Amino acid sequence: MAKLVREKHTIDGVETVLYAAGQGEPLVFFHGAGTLGGLEFAETWTDRFRVIVPFHPGFGESGDDPTLTEPHDYLMHYLELFDALGLDKVNLVGLSFGGYLAAKFAVEHGHRIKKLVLAAPACMPDEKHPMVDILAVPAETLVPMLVSNFDVLKKYLPEKPDLNFIGDRYREATTFARLMWEHPLDFRLPRHLHRLKMPTLLVWGDEDRIVPIQQLETWKKYIPEAQSRTFKSGHLIHLESPEALEAIAKFLE
Amino acid sequence: MSGRLRFNAMHFMPYIYLPENHKDYKSLWVDFSNKNYDPEKGHELYNRYLSELVLADRLGFDAIVVNEHHNTVYSMMATPNVIAAALIPQTKNARICVWGVPPNFMLPNRLAEEYAILDVMSKGRLEIAFPLGTGMEYWAHPISPAQARERFRESLKIMLQAWSEDGPTTHYGKFYTYRFLNPWPRPYQRPHPPCYIVGSGSPETIEIAAELGFGYSSVFVPRKKAEELNATLRERSACYGHTMRPDQFPLLTYVYVAETQDEAEREYAIHLQRFFEDYARAAAYIAPPGYLSVDQLKIRAEGADKMHGGFDLDAISKSFFIAVGTPEKVANLLGEWGTQMGTNHFNNVVHVADMPYWKTVKNMTLFAEEVIPRLQAGGKEE
């Protein structure tokens, strides 16, 4: 298992920080609407893949760009980043909001994706089983909802109120609000998902309290060829389920 | 201070029938259910509050001030232009100040039209403030707080263009497209009614007032900070070639006047306490994502930490512009603050929280008959 190494790139004016390590085919991971919990989990993949974990603009260690105001701006950002890194074709794994971005990227640039993994992807309109609108839930309520085993998350939280921690979360929420406040669901998704012809795996935690596991059926309806796996986990599967990380690696091999 | 001073009567028109368990709610804004609103009681309150503001005109206040809030007991004026329209035919002399409608929650042409209607109806008595809208309002509207300032700028540009240039004109912007910007009627005052920005001191908002040459009034800002803001605005306005007049700095004060100091405090303290502790209680809704810069958020989070603790009229009176006491004391305080803040324009909140009718009438009457003449006389002596 190799330690991830920090790289900094300037992509269309945005300071873009990514962590990368390992040998093999490229595996790119898109994080969700917050970076609580860090990126170390991805090191488990470094024995089998060239793992690349970028921070989205406005999240974690990457810079801000307030002119990026819709999800499509992020697809363009990643098109440019992949070009800059010389990545012609990647395995793409996305979690939550990152799963939504990954699905959208693969819809539009399918030829750049070898295999696709969508873990508890967000933003799907589903009236019967709606996802939690994370912008409407106070932070102190939301954080415990992210996992089924709170111990997993606890070590990433400050013991007492910490202004910098509050500021970091507010910054990421700001970035997310810029993209999703007015339209938290993507009503175009269902009509576009049939374009996902690459091998696709849907992954869900059976105790997901943010995007309910019932949405797995909705996604399967639109991507009938996709495989699916569920694990004992809450929403943040990458932190909670080593089995899921292993299953993703197996699928991508 | 010199020249004639100006005194406004401001009212929030709160809904005062809080449920017994209201302390159980972290916020009486945004998600505090409207099942707690009884329209029968609301009807009585509107009649009462309107009569209080009509009385302000008869007592000789120079202006009546209304404003906008949503999803809350704090104010029943979700659309203050409707309130202003009800006041216009019942009042004769007072300026009608809608301070104001957040442009972000209206189509700019519609807001330009509504204000023009009020201005024409009142024969030029309208004054306007442009608030960004509190953070709380953004939870109630389908408008992103993260682009609020940018949208706000574009809205202002459209409205000022609509009022200042003969229509039709066009506007092709990021948020709005107007192929025929040509609102009827046009305002009575040319090119438009006096304009102010109201805010809680964000540098970004001060800059807008400076650039456009608008007045500025800070809200919920401690005294020292408010003084600094006025100084900053004077400096920044000069950079854009504007010279700020004293009347462009309306000073928001909370006033209560009675025959003796004891009586004033006894009659007022409980309502002011409820105003700050209950009616203004909004918890984390005060800062939706993107509404503040990260730096501003940290500054305010730190400040909020320090403000915890019980209500203390003395302490809060030292931080904010709260004048409670005999006519002489209230007049002296206002005079002092006017000098300190470089303004001759006092925007006085004459009713807070569940203050009953008799206290409101008493407060306004004593203020009009005993405080205003003292200050006007003082102004003439200089």
Residues B136 and B72 sit within 8 Å (Cβ to Cβ):
yes
Token digits for B224? Answer: 């020292």
Question: Which member of B142, B289, B301 has the closest CB to residue A163?
Answer: B301
> Side-chain half-sphere of A60: how many Cα atoms within 13 Å?
21
Q: In whole angstroms, how far apart are CA B171 and each of B144, B180, B181?
A: 21, 8, 7
Q: Which two tokens stand for residue A95?
A: 């979690």
The mean pLDDT of A108-112, rounded to a whole number, is 98
Question: What is the tens place of the pLDDT at every residue in A113-160?
Answer: 999 999 999 999 999 999 999 999 988 899 999 999 999 999 999 998
Say if CB A12 and CB A62 are below 8 A apart.
Answer: no
Residue B1: what pLDDT? 46
Q: Is A174 on the interface with B (CB under 8 A)?
A: yes
| Phi, psi angle pair for A26, to nearest 5° | -70, 135
Cβ–Cβ below 8 Å for B145 and A177: yes
CB-closest option in A69, A135, A163 to B298:
A163
3 state SS for B240-273: CCCCCCHHHCCEEEEEEECCCHHHHHHHHHHHHH
Q: Read off the pLDDT of residues B200-219 as tens digits, 9 standing for 90 and up.
A: 888 888 999 999 999 999 98
Chosen for mutation from A170, A171, A172, A176 (greatest number of chain B CBs closer than 10 Å) is: A170
The answer to whether the beta carbons of residues B279 and A160 sit under 8 Å apart is no
Residue B309 pLDDT exceeds 70: no
Region A29-34 average pLDDT: 97
Rounded Cα–Cα distance for residues B294 and A36 (Å):
17
Is residue A114 classed as helix, strand or coil in its secondary structure?
strand
Contact A206, A119 (CB under 8 A): no
Taking the C-alpha atoms of residue B42 and residue B14, their distance in angstroms, rounded to an integer, is 9
Contact B205, B130 (CB under 8 A): no
Tell me which chain A residues have a C-beta less than 8 angstroms from the C-beta of B142. 182
Q: What is the pLDDT of residues B345-380, one digit of tens each?
A: 999 999 999 999 999 999 999 999 999 999 999 854
Task: Flag whether residue B147 sits within 8 Å of chain A, measured between CB atoms.
Answer: yes
Best mutation target among A168, A172, A180, A181 (most B Cβ atoms within 10 Å) is A181
Q: Which residues pair with A53 in a beta bridge?
A: A19
- Decide if A69 touches B, using CB distance below 8 A: yes
Contact B290 A163 (CB under 8 A): no
Alpha helix positions (H), A181-241: 189-192, 215-222, 237-240
**Angle of the B223-239 helix axis to the B203-212 helix axis, nearest 10:** 40
Confidence of residue B382 (pLDDT cuts 50, 70, 90): very low
Q: How much is the pLDDT for B326?
A: 98
**Which residues, 6+ apart, have CB-to-CB distance to A164 below 8 Å?**
B298
pLDDT in tens, A39-50: 889 999 999 999
**Reported confidence tier of residue B381, pLDDT bands at 50, 70, 90:** very low
pLDDT at B304: 66
Residue B315 has pLDDT above 50, yes or no: yes
Cis peptide before B100 (omega within 30 of 0): yes
Optimal mutation site among B26, B30, B138, B144, interface A, most CBs of chain A within 10 A: B144
What part of B 273-292 touches A (C-beta under 8 Å)?
Answer: 283-284, 287-290, 292
Give the pLDDT score at B200: 85
CA angle B83, B89, B91 (to 5 degrees): 90
Tokens encoding B90: 């019942």
pLDDT number for residue A80: 98
| Structure token digits, residue B288 | 């939706």
Q: How far lies A26's CA from each of A47, A79, A87, in Å?
A: 12, 15, 8
d(CA A47, CA A181): 39
Percent above pLDDT 70 for chain A: 100
Output the CA–CA distances (angstroms, integers) from residue B162 to B72, B96, B159, B309, in the order listed: 32, 21, 5, 48
Distance, CA of A20 to CA of A43 (rounded, Å): 9
Q: pLDDT tens across B4-19, in order?
A: 999 999 999 999 999 9
CA–centroid distance for B83 within its chain? 14
pLDDT the model gives residue B310: 65
A178/B287 touch (CB, cutoff 8 Å), yes or no:
no
B61's CB contacts (< 8 A; 6+ apart) are: B7, B8, B9, B94, B364, B368
pLDDT, one tens digit per residue, over A197-245 is 999 999 999 999 999 999 999 999 999 999 999 999 999 999 999 999 9
Instruction: Report d(CA A82, CA B22) in Å as an integer.
Output: 54
Write the burial class of residue A10 (CB in 10 Å: 0-12 exposed, 13-18 middle, 19+ buried). Answer: exposed
For residue B260, the distance in angstroms to the closest alpha carbon of chain A comes to 45
Beta-carbon neighbour count of residue A142 at 10 Å? 18
Per residue in B57-103, pLDDT (tens digit) is 999 999 999 999 999 999 999 999 999 999 999 999 999 999 999 99
